[in-house]
Amino acid sequence: MFRRTFWFTAGAAAGVWATTKVNRKLKQLTPESLAAQAANKAIETGHRLKDFALDIRDGMAEREVELGEALGLQHNPDAELPAPRRFAVIESHSSYKNDIKTQYNGNEDH
């Protein structure tokens, strides 16, 4: 009698355990759960990419300083920049428009 009770209890426990495992797995495979898992993975990947980019930027800055020291370059952030060249292009472009207007005043018969 004791043997039958033991095996009945062991079978019932195994059934409960298996049912619980199957239900957990089914909940993990629902569309909402899969979407949440994908979103979490995407966020985690984004954080890793951001950390990687920051590490690269730090490494680039360190290497730039090393190269500057090795080449004897002095970095002076207060140095004045050369005058922008864009103004000359704008001025020449506007004078070009004026030249075109004077050449073709629209009163010519074609």
Bigger pLDDT: 76 vs 59: 59
pTM of the prediction?
Answer: 0.45
* Sequential DSSP letters for the chain: -HHHHHHHHHHHHHHHHHHHHHHHHHHHTSHHHHHHHHHHHHHHHHHHHHHHHHHHHHHHHHHHHHHHHHHT----TTSPPPPPSHHHHHHHHHHHHHHHHHH--S----
Per-residue pLDDT tens for 13-70?
A: 999 999 999 999 998 889 999 999 999 999 999 999 999 999 999 999 999 999 988 8
